[in-house]
Chain A
């Protein structure tokens, strides 16, 4: 995979989505809310890119979807992690940690 800024961002979004699904399955809006909540509203996911990301992840077999009932009793599509998705999340988390540590190190030294 190339490493243009977009790819980096997309990769980050993927990781955030996977992380948001770690504990339970959620619908699209729920995922967005969860990310916002975890980021303490410091980071806002562009909602327009969330759904394409979900479709990509599903195509890659990292998440799966199922139609279910929402809290309000409406039909909604719920996403959950697959086993592969869970592994991918762990790997990517490690890579990200290593990457951000390195960046932090550089930033501190400079």
Chain B
């Protein structure tokens, strides 16, 4: 049983040592007083009485110490004393203390940030009930969203005909095509919002408890039912001031009064889980109806497995249902050809990021290890300088354990300060990271320093402190006091084992930094390759601006005319070269339609799928997409004229295999025919590292599937001027403030490589820190050994050794350590880099150039670090060197 009383006394004595001590003092002095008086009563003179009392008491201080022992305070008061002593010692050598604390602070801070990141993104369970039972249900594992999604009818069949799932729900994958405007009562726009459509069962399947209000119900689920929304927690906070009364009221969305039925909980942001990087402010009901079924493949399914059913078994079960559908539909419904791919929701959301984050965690661990090694080295160097002090203390009877403890306490003080600094740094870092909307990394907004992170870093700091202190501490445990004193008096260099230990530590540092540098080098090279990719469009000197008509149009023709007029007014502005429009930009959303060519014999040939892009005639010019054959659309095409289509090279090659595609006819999406008038260059649609895919361009005068509008404006103006020009132009033309959703085309590219850039930058930063620390460590060891050998070097110089000889003697030492370190580091990198393979684009994990380059960088820096003390040594004046003693 814990004796709370004694714990209390112990604690009291640590924090307010005074009180308990005072009471003890008072008690003892009372005793002495009584004894003195007693003695006087027995006839002694006061002086003698007092002396006698003290004597019979047997030493007041000793008694107090024994009493403290009785309280169990001995260890604590000793530790307190060690701590105070340690702090005094460290303050004596402020430079050392600051360097150590900053080094450890950076290491610990990086560790804490990384842990918070990994914890939020990978470790914390998804914000759902029993998340391990949730399954992601998609169609093909292909690139296009249309190929990945299911039709409403098929989804309903999966839901109703399986026997492995408790429930299923789905969401509309193409929600980003819609434009929603949230306005106030007077119709003034408050914000453009994204509304993601969710189906019946979605909220229940995930097991989300709404923060306020209720899920959609009854007729709200019907097609064209009463408009209603569920607000995201962050939008509710930012735009409704967290007003609980908003639930049940109407707000204006796209000019229609829309009932706010609920608010999502803070723990679940739709976007941070399902569409990281694309903010979703509201959820709207997506009906599972005849009408929505006609949209084609549009929804992603999520299922909750019954208790005890594995993901594989659930998937196999759905595959059976899917095969039945395929069989029944036969070949005429190839558009809805079905695949069934299932995986756990967890894998779907976090799977792609696991390797990268674990690699970064290892890197952070390496940095901290190197920091530790440096501190350990410094501590050893310091402890060598303090040998005399420790030897003396040992000779005077200090227990070995006490000396070890003293050293450990000092390194723990350092790591404690490092911890404080590191936590501060981590707090800043995680705050910054969680504010990054730009990253398509799930749950990254939830990154924060929480209890787990603090627990983790305290543990890390403890391990770090002990790890740094253990090497110097163990030294004392070996050296007998006499030996150490003798050693000291002879002023020999420090013990052979110490030297080996320090050299070993430096070799470790060099190896670790070499490993990190090689990995960072691979990522940097891969990133360069990625940026060198031919985008198929010209990202510089152009911006994209999301625009809308601000109203519902009567027809798509009217809409197209409205936008053409808008484009004309923008093009008329000074400095604007060309403005075009498309329903979606590259490196963003995507969908897929079927396309089937008519062959020379008039028969339909084998078809395929392609991204449809609905655009106006000036889009190719505005984007800088090259026309390879034929022409792009022109200003004379209308809904009345012949249907035309432009293909990209990849698609044209696939359909006609080298034959001239111009003038050929294709069937698009099973709905209409169009004549091929041109072929354009391949544009990177999904990501820079994806292989070329099929694309087709359709004229927005001729097709109604044009929901969102992205205007692209090309100009030689500076970005700021261009933005303000276009903003003014839009304001003038529409008479209302334009959206703030504009970006440079370059930022589209940057955005799409943001995770790669993040990983590259972080790893590069880590490896640089590692390299610097390793260099400092190497320098420290060599400089120290030079300092130890001042006399030897002096003698050598005195009897005629040339400075060059001395230099090379010292350098050789550094070169050996470096060579061994690099060899180990390269071997390590060779073994470790395979984990990077998933993150590398057109770079081999064992790229010899990168290995060689980074090894020589490490070698160069290391030899430089060794050269400085070597030069100093050789310049020394032998007279002075000999006089040191």
Query: Inside 8 A of A76's CB, which chain B residues have their CB?
Result: 27, 30
Interface pair B71/A48, CB less than 8 Å apart? no
CA–CA, A33 and B38, complex, Å: 10
Interface pair A52/B31, CB less than 8 Å apart? no
The smallest C-beta distance from A56 to any residue of chain B, in angstroms, reads: 5
A77 CB-CB contact with B under 8 Å: yes
Query: Inside 8 A of B558's CB, which chain A residues have their CB?
Result: none
Interface pair A48/B27, CB less than 8 Å apart? no
Interface pair B67/A29, CB less than 8 Å apart? no
Contact partner, B70, options A47, A48, A52, Cβ 8 Å: A52
A51 CB-CB contact with B under 8 Å: yes
A27 CB-CB contact with B under 8 Å: yes
Pick the most buried of B28, B30, B58: most chain A CB atoms within 10 A of its CB: B30
Query: Inside 8 A of A108's CB, which chain B residues have their CB?
Result: none
Interface pair A55/B57, CB less than 8 Å apart? no
The smallest C-beta distance from B8 to any residue of chain A, in angstroms, reads: 11
Query: Inside 8 A of A11's CB, which chain B residues have their CB?
Result: none
CA–CA, A59 and B5, complex, Å: 7
A91 CB-CB contact with B under 8 Å: no
Interface pair B56/A52, CB less than 8 Å apart? no
Interface pair A51/B23, CB less than 8 Å apart? no
The smallest C-beta distance from B385 to any residue of chain A, in angstroms, reads: 41
Query: Inside 8 A of A75's CB, which chain B residues have their CB?
Result: 26, 30
Contact partner, A47, options B6, B33, B56, Cβ 8 Å: B56
Interface pair A77/B23, CB less than 8 Å apart? yes
Interface pair A77/B66, CB less than 8 Å apart? no
A70 CB-CB contact with B under 8 Å: yes
Pick the most buried of B6, B28, B31: most chain A CB atoms within 10 A of its CB: B31
Contact partner, A59, options B6, B26, B62, Cβ 8 Å: B6
Contact partner, A29, options B35, B62, B63, B69, Cβ 8 Å: B35
B3 CB-CB contact with A under 8 Å: yes
Interface pair B63/A48, CB less than 8 Å apart? yes
Query: Inside 8 A of A77's CB, which chain B residues have their CB?
Result: 23, 26-27, 30
Query: Inside 8 A of B69's CB, which chain A residues have their CB?
Result: 52
Query: Inside 8 A of A27's CB, which chain B residues have their CB?
Result: 27, 30-31
B84 CB-CB contact with A under 8 Å: no
B43 CB-CB contact with A under 8 Å: no
Contact partner, A51, options B5, B33, B34, B63, Cβ 8 Å: B63
Interface size on A, residues (CB 8 A): 20
| Chain B 2-20 interface mask (CB, 8 Å, partner A; 1/0) | 0101100000000000000
B397 CB-CB contact with A under 8 Å: no
Within A51-88, which residues are at the interface with B (CB < 8 Å)? 51-52, 55-56, 59, 70, 72, 74-77
CA–CA, A36 and B5, complex, Å: 31
The smallest C-beta distance from A48 to any residue of chain B, in angstroms, reads: 3
A6 CB-CB contact with B under 8 Å: no
CA–CA, A59 and B3, complex, Å: 8
**Interface SS of chain A: helix, strand, loop or mixed?**
helix
Interface pair B67/A51, CB less than 8 Å apart? yes
Interface pair B57/A47, CB less than 8 Å apart? yes
Interface pair B66/A52, CB less than 8 Å apart? yes
Closest A residue, CB atoms, query B34: A29
B95 CB-CB contact with A under 8 Å: no
Contact partner, A74, options B23, B30, B35, B58, Cβ 8 Å: B30
Within A21-46, which residues are at the interface with B (CB < 8 Å)? 27-29, 32-33, 46
The size class of the interface chain B forms with chain A is 20 to 34
B800 CB-CB contact with A under 8 Å: no
The smallest C-beta distance from B35 to any residue of chain A, in angstroms, reads: 7
B658 CB-CB contact with A under 8 Å: no
The smallest C-beta distance from A22 to any residue of chain B, in angstroms, reads: 21
Pick the most buried of A28, A52, A76: most chain B CB atoms within 10 A of its CB: A52
CA–CA, A90 and B35, complex, Å: 30
Interface pair B27/A51, CB less than 8 Å apart? yes
Closest B residue, CB atoms, query A57: B70
Pick the most buried of B59, B69, B70: most chain A CB atoms within 10 A of its CB: B70
Interface pair A48/B58, CB less than 8 Å apart? yes
Query: Inside 8 A of B57's CB, which chain A residues have their CB?
Result: 47-48
Q: Say whether, besides A56-B70, A75-B26, A48 and B59 are in contact (CB < 8 Å).
A: yes
Interface pair B70/A55, CB less than 8 Å apart? yes
A49 CB-CB contact with B under 8 Å: yes
CA–CA, A47 and B58, complex, Å: 7
CA–CA, A47 and B54, complex, Å: 10
Query: Inside 8 A of A51's CB, which chain B residues have their CB?
Result: 24, 27-28, 31, 63, 66-67
The smallest C-beta distance from A37 to any residue of chain B, in angstroms, reads: 12
The smallest C-beta distance from B159 to any residue of chain A, in angstroms, reads: 67
Query: Inside 8 A of B33's CB, which chain A residues have their CB?
Result: 74
Contact partner, B67, options A33, A47, A52, A72, Cβ 8 Å: A52
Interface pair A48/B66, CB less than 8 Å apart? yes
Closest B residue, CB atoms, query A75: B26
Interface pair B31/A59, CB less than 8 Å apart? no
| Chain B 25-62 interface mask (CB, 8 Å, partner A; 1/0) | 01110110111011000000000000000001111001
Query: Inside 8 A of A46's CB, which chain B residues have their CB?
Result: 58
Q: Say whether, besides A47-B58, A52-B63, A77-B23, A59 and B71 are in contact (CB < 8 Å).
A: yes
Query: Inside 8 A of B35's CB, which chain A residues have their CB?
Result: 29, 47
CA–CA, A81 and B399, complex, Å: 40
Interface pair A29/B66, CB less than 8 Å apart? no
CA–CA, A29 and B37, complex, Å: 11
CA–CA, A48 and B28, complex, Å: 10
Closest B residue, CB atoms, query A29: B34
CA–CA, A70 and B30, complex, Å: 10
Closest A residue, CB atoms, query B62: A48
CA–CA, A76 and B37, complex, Å: 15
Closest B residue, CB atoms, query A47: B57
CA–CA, A1 and B57, complex, Å: 28
CA–CA, A55 and B26, complex, Å: 15
CA–CA, A78 and B69, complex, Å: 21
Pick the most buried of A32, A33, A51, A72: most chain B CB atoms within 10 A of its CB: A51
CA–CA, A79 and B17, complex, Å: 22
Pick the most buried of B3, B23, B27, B37: most chain A CB atoms within 10 A of its CB: B27
The smallest C-beta distance from A45 to any residue of chain B, in angstroms, reads: 10
Query: Inside 8 A of B27's CB, which chain A residues have their CB?
Result: 27-28, 51, 76-77
CA–CA, A11 and B401, complex, Å: 31
Closest A residue, CB atoms, query B69: A52
The smallest C-beta distance from A58 to any residue of chain B, in angstroms, reads: 8
| Chain B 394-433 interface mask (CB, 8 Å, partner A; 1/0) | 0000000000000000000000000000000000000000
CA–CA, A51 and B30, complex, Å: 12
Query: Inside 8 A of B58's CB, which chain A residues have their CB?
Result: 46-49
Contact partner, B30, options A29, A48, A55, Cβ 8 Å: A29
Query: Inside 8 A of A33's CB, which chain B residues have their CB?
Result: 38
Query: Inside 8 A of A49's CB, which chain B residues have their CB?
Result: 58, 63, 66
Query: Inside 8 A of B71's CB, which chain A residues have their CB?
Result: 55, 59
CA–CA, A29 and B57, complex, Å: 11
CA–CA, A48 and B64, complex, Å: 9
Closest B residue, CB atoms, query A44: B56
CA–CA, A15 and B500, complex, Å: 59
Contact partner, B31, options A47, A55, A56, A72, Cβ 8 Å: A47
Closest A residue, CB atoms, query B60: A48
CA–CA, A52 and B69, complex, Å: 8
Would you list 22 pairs from A and B whose C-beta atoms are within 8 A, ordered by A residue? A27-B30, A28-B27, A28-B31, A29-B35, A47-B31, A48-B66, A49-B58, A49-B66, A52-B63, A52-B66, A52-B67, A52-B69, A52-B70, A55-B67, A55-B70, A56-B70, A59-B6, A59-B70, A72-B37, A74-B33, A75-B26, A76-B30
**Known pairs A29-B31, A47-B57, A77-B26 / 8 extra A-B pairs, C-beta < 8 Å:** A28-B31, A29-B34, A47-B35, A48-B57, A49-B58, A51-B24, A70-B34, A77-B30
Closest 10 CB pairs of A and B: A48-B58, A55-B70, A29-B34, A52-B66, A48-B63, A52-B70, A47-B57, A29-B31, A77-B27, A56-B70
Binding site for B on A (CB under 8 A): 27-29, 32-33, 46-49, 51-52, 55-56, 59, 70, 72, 74-77
